[in-house]
Amino acid sequence: MEGVGNDFVLIEADAAHGLNLSELAQRLCCRPFGIGADGLLVVGRGERAPVRMRMFNPDGTEDFCGNGLRCAARFAYEQGYVNTPEFTIETLGGQIVPVQLHLYGGIVGQITTQLPPPRFHPRAIPALVDGEVIEDFPLTIAGHPLRLSSINTGTTHTVIFCDSLPDDALFLEVSPRLETHPMFPERTSVLWAVVVSRSEVRVRIWERGVGETLGCGSGAAAVGVLAYRAGWTERIVRIASKGGMLTVDYREDGVLLTGESNKLFEGVFYLE
């Protein structure tokens, strides 16, 4: 399945019973020798919610994933895990995420998920700096002076607002170094962002544990929240990446993230 170009191998939890999911993610997500994906989604019935989703990056680390939530939501609805377009999904750390499927003639179109309220304090990001928030923070990476803003929207994100998106040389030199900088003990995803107007921001994404991706749901939420807090955009803003468009609606009780998800193909993978 995919959401704004963020592609996933999705399997049902019962099929993976007894398997090491971290090792399985590394194998399935490897593009030359596996199926190839930005992550592995393991979806089943939950105890605290009708549906439970676990997501693993290609390097085997478990993570939170905004685009993965929409894929899991569509899958669960179409597989009959739920019989209503509004339900909840349990995800990393026991977080309960409300979901609303927008149906058109009984077919799933747009999907809205409510991500948890963003966390700004360095201890909650987490980041090893003093202060209450990390906004417009100066840091030099590989000789390049940067101004950073960091936030947790379910997972750790660092946003670099700039006048134009970086070329490959700058993007590939700085992004992986920033991901693994000692300032971020759990690493960070990196989003380069250009404010186009008060209703749209363009981004280029380096996702922790993955590398460059075409889309990132929780990252789009991070960009939308930070741009609004800076006074550059409205509360509701479109975030455009290489994979497509997401709509972010920043509210006091969380962040509404709306976009599509699509099932591309299904098949059988043979484990030795």
Q: Where are the domains of the chain?
A: 2-109, 122-251
Contact 194, 164 (CB under 8 A): yes
Q: Which CATH architecture has domain 2-109?
A: Roll (3.10)
pLDDT of the residue at 235: 97
Give the Å distances, CA to CA, from 153 to 22, 56, 178, 202, 271: 23, 17, 18, 18, 35
Give the Å distances, CA to CA, from 135 to 36, 146, 170, 196: 35, 12, 21, 20
Return mean pLDDT, the chain: 96
Contact 162, 192 (CB under 8 A): yes
Shared fold status for 2-109 and 122-251: yes
Residues of the chain with pLDDT under 70: none
CATH code that applies to domain 122-251 = 3.10.310.10
Closest of 86, 63, 66, 65 to residue 76, by C-alpha: 86
Instruction: Kindly list the catalytic residues.
Output: 65, 216
What are the tens digits of pLDDT across the range 37-67? 999 999 999 999 999 999 999 999 999 999 9
